[in-house]
């Protein structure tokens, strides 16, 4: 038996697969036994370095993370090369200056608009609060201390 196992090991995984298929064709329990032996002994490659959970997986993961890090570095270099405008230079200096001036002007207007909205919200809140305080002052004083209303008898 060990001679046959050694011979199949010499031929590699395809020989084991062929033996398993032949076992299923001849008599299904033999194929099942060969499959079980291949899994149990590690000949299926489930626990080998080429398997899904072996050292090769760790190396592939590290390579993938390195590629991702390189992409992020390229992206940040691309973003920084546009001199903070978020755009890559076109090569036409006049247009690039016009674009950067327009973007600067739009950002300034956006800031002024946000400030205006903040002042508007503040004025609205102040007007509502003043109205509340005026209504409170004009309200009739209650007849005596605040007493809870009596409950109706049931």
Answer whether 0.85 is exceeded by the pTM.
no
Angle between the N-to-C axes of helices 13-26 and 2-11, in degrees from 0 to 180, rounded to the nearest 10 = 120
pLDDT band at 30 (very low <50, low <70, confident <90, very high): confident
Cα(108)–Cα(126) distance, integer angstroms: 27
pLDDT at 34 over 70: yes
pLDDT at 148 over 80: no
Q: Which of 53-57, 72-76, 116-120, 138-142 has the lowest mean pLDDT?
A: 53-57
pLDDT at 120 over 70: yes
Angle between the N-to-C axes of helices 28-41 and 13-26, in degrees from 0 to 180, rounded to the nearest 10 = 150
Beta strands per DSSP E along the chain? none
Question: What's the mean pLDDT in 26-42?
Answer: 83
Cα(77)–Cα(71) distance, integer angstroms: 10
pLDDT at residue 85, as a whole number: 55
pLDDT at 115 over 80: yes
pLDDT in tens, 58-82: 777 888 888 888 888 887 766 665 5
Q: Bigger pLDDT: 11 or 46?
A: 11
Q: Bigger pLDDT: 74 or 131?
A: 131
pLDDT band at 146 (very low <50, low <70, confident <90, very high): low
């Amino acid at each position: 038996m060990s001679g046959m196992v050694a011979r199949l090991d010499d031929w590699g995984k395809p020989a084991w697969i062929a033996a398993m298929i032949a076992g299923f064709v001849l008599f299904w329990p033999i194929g099942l036994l060969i499959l079980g032996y291949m899994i149990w002994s590690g000949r299926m490659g489930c626990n080998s370095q080429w398997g899904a959970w072996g050292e090769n997986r760790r190396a592939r993961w590290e390579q993938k993370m390195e590629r991702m890090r390189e992409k992020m570095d390229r992206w940040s270099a691309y973003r920084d090369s546009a001199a903070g405008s978020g755009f890559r230079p076109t090569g036409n200096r006049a247009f690039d200056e016009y674009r950067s001036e327009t973007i600067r002007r739009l950002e300034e207007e956006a800031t002024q608009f946000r400030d205006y909205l903040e002042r508007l919200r503040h004025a609205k809140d102040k007007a509502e609060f003043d109205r509340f305080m005026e209504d409170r002052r004009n309200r009739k004083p209650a007849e005596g201390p605040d007493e809870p209303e009596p409950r109706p008898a049931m």
